[in-house]
Structure 1
Amino acid sequence: MRIAQCALALSAVLSLSGVAAAAGLDDIDPAVKDRLYNSKMLDPAQPIGQSAYVNWKPKKGPPWTIGYASSYAGNTWRAAVMQELQNTILPKWQKLGLIKDVVITQSNLNDSTQIQQMRQLVDQGVDAIVVCCSNPTALNQTVKYAYDHGVPTFSLTGYLTSPYSVNASVNYQLAGYQIGKWMADEVGGKGNILVVEGIPGTSGSDSQDRGVKAGLASAPGIQVVGDVAGMWTDQVAQGEVQKWLATNPGQLDGIVVQSAAELGVLRALQQSGRDMVPVALGGELGALCYWRQNPKFISAAYQVWPPADEFALIWNVMMRTLEGQGPKLQSIMVDPIKINYADVEKALPADCNPDADSWLSVGNAKWGGDPAFLDQFFTKPANPEAFKP
């Protein structure tokens, strides 16, 4: 399908959805509401109604046990999340006396396995469950099962459509649009673009992909000449892009890729022998290092899901909910962060490692962690670290 047709289809869906203000939005800063919730780039399936936990209380006090039902462990992003959880978050909250332990499961992108693992976590007595990057509908019955047993579910890096989940992430469709529009401008409004999706079927990937294609369609001279799935994994993206380049020898002017796969895309381009073209970068330090050492490579990058900051945000939201602060909305959304060359120059030395698989953190305060921002999403906001049962 031509990208202009994709944009028209997206516009029609958004018009039908209305994206009306939901209960609970009236107390949100009007600027935040207009930018992140009433935007035409809001995914029409993103749940923005009143949270089921607005008046909810946990069945017991701290220290709480948390279940982390991860759907995948095979990329640099997931590794960074695990590092943040195990080395920073868990020790800190155990020291505060509010957390007993975190039980971690991995389902390897199998919905049935993740469902089984979540039910087992509930039956084992966890007090809350965090899920990541999951199918937006497949877990809904299990989320309801958890809710019926007094266990709230929190979703990061993508939303669940269940009314019994609390979601926290960037507005992915808006972020995708900004990236697609940036690429269109980067190549002068005309050219052939390869799109590398994340994991199709997950809300974060699908939302961002729709936004990217709408952003690319803002310039009538842009053509999407290929569309492959990088599975948010460098090795997969490298292989898929290498195959595409080998079988499509024509003109290519740019590549839009969802993190964590940009380092694999850069490697594929370098190994192909083709001239380097603009690539949409996210937060992988190896890819940002390439830009650091080649200042004219691109004009900007977009951090859409910094792993440490993403997990810190959902943890903050979860702890506030367990403490009875009452989240107002089903989805708490934040802005993507635009990165310029000066930011990269400050973050990385000139002799940085272009193969580094770690991630740039934008800082929790910039990623929804600022109390002045996050407090507005709760009925009884307070510093979660100072909670005394």
Structure 2
Amino acid sequence: MLKKVVAALFALSSLYQMNGVAMADGLDSLPPDQKALYENIDPAIPLGGTVYKDFVAKRPPPWKIGYASTYAGNTWRANMLDEFSNVLVPKYKEAGLVSELVVTQSDLKDSVQIQQMRQMVDDGVDAIIICCSNITALNQTIEYAHSHGVPVFSVSGYVTSPYAINATENNTDGGYKAAEWLAKEIGEKGNVLTVSGIPGFASSDSFDNGAKKAFEKFPNINVVGNVAGKWTDQVAQVEVQKFLATNPAEINGILVQSASENGVVNAVQQSGRDMMPIVLGGEASAACYWRQNPDFISKSFHFWPPRSDARLVWDVMMRTLQGQGPKIQSILRPALPYTIDDVKKVLKEDCDPNSTDWIEPENNSWWPADVANTYFERPVDPLAWRPKK
């Protein structure tokens, strides 16, 4: 935690020093309803104004975009990449705004991601999207990109560099809401198992910190174990099976970080134990179990819907390249609840328990256009925008 606070102070002090950009240009510039979404956050998230307020792209469109991902081995990553490659790129190519998308995977190695990002800059990309990265390890590389006129956008996780924009979820808020709901769902007493993502990664740690804060409100809730599911069903299933096999105590609820809830559901079923409430985060496979067992839980949450996250960061990136002037360095989205009725709208009773799809928020409610416009100085529909002649 100390490291995160120091990183936050460094990032904020840097913002004050650069180009006269001050805190008032960031969080204080947002309307009250959006500003309220920042009340329960990781203290290291930068909330000042950005160096891209008056950014001008180094060349006119069509733009070459880089996507420097850290990992490709789960359903969340697959859905996000599919949204980029097969939905957004074709749409923006047709509009004459994008020429190509360059994709790399670093297999969770910071040094590899750094090398890949530098190569993207040297090869002439106009912007880079990074995913789920270390909050400080890439900062020098992000500054290198900025020095070459290439803005960097972080999705599903944040970085502390003042030369990046974070377009991501409020993961502390997500963990808090999930834990609070689970505690109430099991009667505010009992034993809880938590399944983290990848410890040390901002998304995972922020979510866990929010959950811990919520559980502290319930003195009769006991967190009896934690395993790392690594946001992957197969890993989570093995780790939860091992825990249940070696810990005979009753487990009354399980708090899970997606994309691993289907692995947890499978592990409980194979353990022979009665099913207990499990937090779901959007995997259609786990939602299929809920569809077929409607009394399983009362609700769950969209914490980081992959296609919606892809559209979020893409929209922020395009608006920035177009000179629309982002107001704040970190654009955060809240966890959104969904119910069995929402599941029934998209899944039939004979749904696929092994689906690799996700359930997404309805009607682009993750990042609606009227909300997006409030985060920019000169907002316009990015698909309708055209460069000045």
Q: TM-score range by the shorter chain?
A: over 0.9
The 8 Å contact of residues 27 and 376 in structure 1, kept in 2 or not, is answered as no
1:182-331 aligned within 5 A: 182-331=181-330
Deviations 1:132-174 (A, max 9, x none): 1111111111000100111000010011111111111121111
TM-score, length-normalised on structure 2?
0.93
Where does structure 2 lack aligned partners over 5 or more consecutive residues? 13-21
- Residue 59 of structure 2 is matched in structure 1 by 60
- Residue 15 of structure 2 is matched in structure 1 by none
1:118-197 aligned within 5 A: 118-197=117-196
One-letter amino acid of the counterpart of residue 72, structure 1? Y
- Residue 45 of structure 2 is matched in structure 1 by 46
1:365-376 aligned within 5 A: 365-368=364-367, 370-376=368-374
* Distance across 2 between alignment mates of 1:364 and 1:54: 29
* Distance across 2 between alignment mates of 1:130 and 1:315: 8
TM-score, length-normalised on structure 1?
0.93
Identity %: 54
How many residues are matched?
372
- Residue 3 of structure 1 is matched in structure 2 by none
* Distance across 1 between alignment mates of 2:340 and 2:298: 7
* Distance across 2 between alignment mates of 1:255 and 1:198: 14
- Matched position secondary structure for 1:377: coil
- Residue 386 of structure 1 is matched in structure 2 by 384
* Distance across 2 between alignment mates of 1:150 and 1:345: 47
Where does structure 1 lack aligned partners over 5 or more consecutive residues? 1-8
* Distance across 2 between alignment mates of 1:337 and 1:50: 26
CA drift at 1:22 = 4.8
- Matched position secondary structure for 2:221: strand
One-letter amino acid of the counterpart of residue 76, structure 1? T
* Distance across 2 between alignment mates of 1:202 and 1:48: 19
- Matched position secondary structure for 2:264: helix
- Residue 29 of structure 1 is matched in structure 2 by 31
Change beyond 3 A, Cα 1:149–1:158: same
Which deviates more from structure 2 when the two are superposed, residues 272-281 or residues 343-352?
Answer: 343-352
CA drift at 1:32 = 1.7
- Residue 4 of structure 1 is matched in structure 2 by none
CA drift at 1:340 = 1.1
- Matched position secondary structure for 1:299: coil
One-letter amino acid of the counterpart of residue 78, structure 2? A
CA drift at 1:57 = 0.9
- CA-based RMSD of the aligned residues comes to 1.7
* Distance across 2 between alignment mates of 1:378 and 1:23: 11
One-letter amino acid of the counterpart of residue 198, structure 2? I
CA drift at 1:275 = 1.0
CA drift at 1:363 = 4.1
- Residue 18 of structure 2 is matched in structure 1 by none
- Matched position secondary structure for 1:302: strand
- Matched position secondary structure for 1:210: helix
CA drift at 1:354 = 1.6
- Matched position secondary structure for 1:196: strand
1:341-356 aligned within 5 A: 341-356=340-355
The 8 Å contact of residues 155 and 313 in structure 2, kept in 1 or not, is answered as yes
CA drift at 1:26 = 2.7
